[in-house]
Amino acid sequence: MSESLDYFRQNRLPHIWCPGCGHGTVTGALTRTLAKLGIDKNNVVVVSGIGCSSRASGYLDFDTIHTAHGRAIAFATGIKLSRPDMKVIVMTGDGDCTAIGGNHFIHAARRNIDITTIVMNNSNYGMTSGQYSPMTPTGMLGTTAPYGNVERPFDLGKLAIACGATYVGRSTSYHVQLLGELLEKALLNKGFSVVEAVVGCPTYFGRKNKLGGAVDMFTWQKDHAVNVKAAAVMAPEKLEGKFLIGELYNQAAPEFTAQYDALIESVRRKFDNFQGGVRGCAQNSD
């Protein structure tokens, strides 16, 4: 525990998340996993977008960047391509990642760029007080879905797999142990990794939908999540209304920044007599 605390900027705590919010649980799981893997603090960049999830970056003691709404993965792409040696982690939410940031998400997956994306799915836009998101289940209420959401939600795991992510897992803020295991594998995967963490938002989603308090929402997670291994041998009708957790996909593929570096090597061999560029210019001379 004390080791993982070292990954926090303790002077930035306490955090702004509501009592019962799962974001703190997920952030804690991340720091414990990083501590377990013994990852050097100076070699990590945490990138976040906008929303409740995205405040996580400010509490973590790495180089951190709280970007613009939806753009975390695009910023992270620039960082990772610049510094392939660094561990780049994106912390985002269901709205940030799959609505305004959806395009960057699918293309990062397609490229298989080595970024670990943690999506804290609280089923609504918490920061702006509970509007429905692309991951709000059909029929549920939101402040912009006062009669129930008529849209269909994304299955983020399937989306990520279809787009080319090479590691995909899902857990909940209740299944913290599993969450840690998935994060560990995601961080070790050389490619685009997605870990969805289903979390409760008792303040908005829970209250609006009369799901009870924080404890009730954790109980809901416990009752509705089915491990993918168990699901494999269950009858389809038993899975009705449930969602899968566990490792959803794990398949290696060529990683983008490594491919680009290989390209640089081959191009350099071909053009080793190149004389242009910065060489020869006076640096900082007045």
Partner 1 sequence: MPEAKLMQGNEACTLGALAAGLNFFAGYPITPSTEIAELCSEELPKIGGKFIQMEDEIGSIAAIIGASLTGRKAMTATSGPGFSLMQELIGYSAISEVPIVIINVQRVGPSTGMPTSLAQGDVMQARWGTHGDHPVVVLAPGNVRECFDLTIKAFNIAEDLRVPVIVLSDETIGHMREKVVLPDYKSIKVVNRKAPATPAGYLPYKADQDGGVPLMAPFGAGYRWHVTGLSHDETGFPTNKGEVAGDLIKRLMRKVEKAEPVIRDYATESADDCDVLVVAFGSSAMSATSAVRQARAQGVKAGLFRPKTIWPFPEEPLRELAAKAKRIIVPEMNLGQLVLEIERVVAGKAPVERLSKVNCELFRPEEILKAIIGGSK
Q: What are the residues binding partner 1 (CB under 8 A)?
A: 9, 12, 41-43, 45, 47, 57-58, 61-68, 71, 74-79, 81-83, 85-86, 103-104, 106-107, 260, 263-264, 267-268, 271, 274, 276-286
User: Minimum Å distance from CB 261 to partner 1?
Assistant: 9
Provide the residue type at 177 as one letter. Q
Token representation of residue 160: 């990520």
Of residues 67 and 149, the one with the C-beta less far from partner 1 = 67
User: Minimum Å distance from CB 192 to partner 1?
Assistant: 14
Of residues 210 and 270, the one with the C-beta less far from partner 1 = 270
Question: Residue 14, preceding bond cis, omega within 30 degrees?
Answer: yes
Q: How far is CA 207 from CA 90, 138, 143, 211, 212, in A?
A: 28, 17, 11, 6, 7
Token representation of residue 106: 């699918």
Token representation of residue 180: 């840690």
Of residues 103 and 138, the one with the C-beta less far from partner 1 = 103
Token representation of residue 10: 């303790």
User: Minimum Å distance from CB 258 to partner 1?
Assistant: 13
Of residues 106 and 182, the one with the C-beta less far from partner 1 = 106
Distance CA 42, CA 123 (A): 33
User: Minimum Å distance from CB 221 to partner 1?
Assistant: 30
Of residues 67 and 112, the one with the C-beta less far from partner 1 = 67
